[in-house]
């Protein structure tokens, strides 16, 4: 039975937490136990009907939670848990941070990545692309197996403002991350999306006001951000009778980055579900590019690896269609002793291959610092 349980009724063990889906939003974490149903792909309306049927059969507040890949034609991983609860975020904070000991190897080296950026810039000059997001990956090879719940606790502690997630996958891997970017939230008829694009690394010696002013005045970053915010607003517009889109972006901070941010709020015309809205938005130009199909093709050709769930969407939906979905960034895939981490950067006219490489390095720092590896220099994989 898929049941909501009271927080005090469910003292989870470390092994329970390793197998749980977790989704932190604000001061609370959605925590699951067991699997009642699982899906590798399902239409939003069909999922809503299934959740409502379970509720009619006596299941208390059924929810679906999981991950959608970058390429939605690939297998998804959504589950309806046997039990779930909202738990105070502080209850999952670890007594000590997770420390990995091993070597960090580049999956995509600097020469390959910067060459891909140069090739993309050539496509801009030919009028084929306006923006593309090019990503890279690194592997952390640890001497010992890392428990997913231990890694999740470290991410939770070091990223208090992020949507911190853990999704166990069927082949023994675990998707982990601390995303700053809300793809969509739906609460009754109110929806919110918070696209981020245009970024700078944070430096300890850099004064906050100067850094924010510099980013707000950067023509390249403002253009990159406008492409994303405009695309999100255009995708939401058919669903909304009211839509508020700020004229100017704000600057938000994560532990390692500054981002241009636009918070878009709307009121729905019809009760479209959180999953339906997420699929209408995904992938945004924040993780793919513009035009979308041309960017997809260029990504497949230039990156040299399969993104899988990186730059997809992670989230949940209940039987009323409410839910939250975030963009799967600042993330990694944990499998035994190997942790693969991902980061990307938006490339537009005026981008520098070296600067985009440095931006991805700063974004990788979110995950590396959670495991005590932020100062490790990656080696080149053989």
Point out the residues that are catalytic: 131, 181
For 32, the enclosing helix (H) or strand (E) is strand 28-33
Q: What is the CA radius of gyration of the chain?
A: 20
As given in the structure block, the two tokens for residue 295 are: 């960017």
Question: CB under 8 Å to 44, separation ≥6 — which residues?
Answer: 273, 275, 276, 279
CA pair distance 27, 93, nearest whole angstrom = 12
Which residues are CB-contacts of 234 (< 8 A; sequence separation ≥ 6)?
A: none
Count of positions (residues) in the chain:
382
Residues 22 and 92: beta-carbon distance below 8 Å: yes
Asked if the peptide bond before residue 318 counts as cis, ω within 30 degrees of 0, the response is: no
Other C-beta atoms closer than 10 Å to the C-beta of 186 total: 28
Q: The tokens of 325 are what? A: 């979905």
96: tokens are 């000590």
**C-alpha separations of 134 from 20, 62, 227, 252, 302 in Å:** 31, 37, 16, 22, 8
- C-alpha to C-alpha distance for 169 and 179, rounded to whole angstroms: 18
- Which candidate, 320, 236, 331, 241, places its Cα nearest to that of 273? 320
For 264-303, letters b (16+ CB in 10 Å) and e give: bbbebeeebbbbbbbbebbbbbbbbbbeeebbbebbeebb
Distance CA 266, CA 30 (A): 25
Q: How far is CA 277 from CA 84, 320, 322, in A?
A: 23, 14, 11
């Amino acid at each position: 039975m898929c049941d909501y349980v009271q927080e005090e009724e469910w003292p989870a063990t470390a092994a329970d937490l390793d197998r749980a889906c977790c989704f932190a939003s604000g001061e609370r974490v959605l925590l699951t136990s067991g699997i009642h149903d699982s899906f590798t792909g399902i239409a939003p309306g069909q999922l809503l009907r299934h959740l409502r049927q379970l509720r009619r059969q006596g299941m208390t507040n059924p929810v679906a939670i999981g991950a959608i890949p970058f390429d939605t034609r690939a297998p998804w991983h959504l589950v309806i848990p046997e039990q779930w609860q909202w738990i105070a975020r502080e209850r999952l904070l670890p007594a000590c941070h997770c420390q990995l000991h091993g070597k960090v190897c580049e999956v995509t080296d600097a020469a390959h990545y910067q060459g891909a950026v140069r090739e993309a810039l050539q496509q801009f000059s030919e009028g084929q692309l306006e923006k593309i997001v090019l990503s890279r990956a690194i592997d952390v090879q640890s001497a010992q197996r890392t428990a997913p719940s231990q890694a999740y606790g470290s991410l939770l502690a070091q990223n208090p403002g992020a949507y911190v997630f853990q999704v166990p996958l069927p082949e023994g891997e675990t998707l982990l991350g601390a995303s700053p970017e809300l793809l969509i939230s739906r609460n009754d008829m109110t929806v919110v999306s918070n696209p981020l694009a245009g970024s700078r690394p944070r430096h300890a010696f850099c004064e906050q006001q100067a850094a924010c002013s510099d980013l707000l005045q950067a023509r390249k970053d403002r253009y990159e951000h406008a492409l994303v915010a405009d695309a999100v607003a255009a995708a939401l517009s058919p669903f909304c009778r009211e839509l508020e889109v700020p004229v100017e972006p704000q600057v938000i901070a994560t532990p390692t980055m500054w981002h241009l941010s636009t918070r878009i709020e709307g009121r729905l015309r019809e009760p479209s579900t959180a999953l339906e809205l997420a699929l209408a938005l995904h992938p945004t130009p924040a993780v793919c590019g513009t035009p979308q199909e041309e960017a997809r093709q260029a990504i497949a050709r230039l990156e040299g690896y399969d993104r899988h769930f990186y730059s997809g969407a992670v989230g949940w939906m209940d039987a009323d269609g409410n839910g939250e979905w975030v963009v799967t960034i600042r993330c990694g895939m944990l499998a035994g002793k190997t942790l693969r981490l991902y980061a990307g950067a938006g490339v537009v006219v005026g981008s520098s291959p070296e600067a985009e490489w440095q931006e991805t390095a700063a974004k990788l720092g979110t995950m590396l610092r959670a495991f005590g590896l932020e100062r490790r220099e990656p080696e080149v994989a053989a």
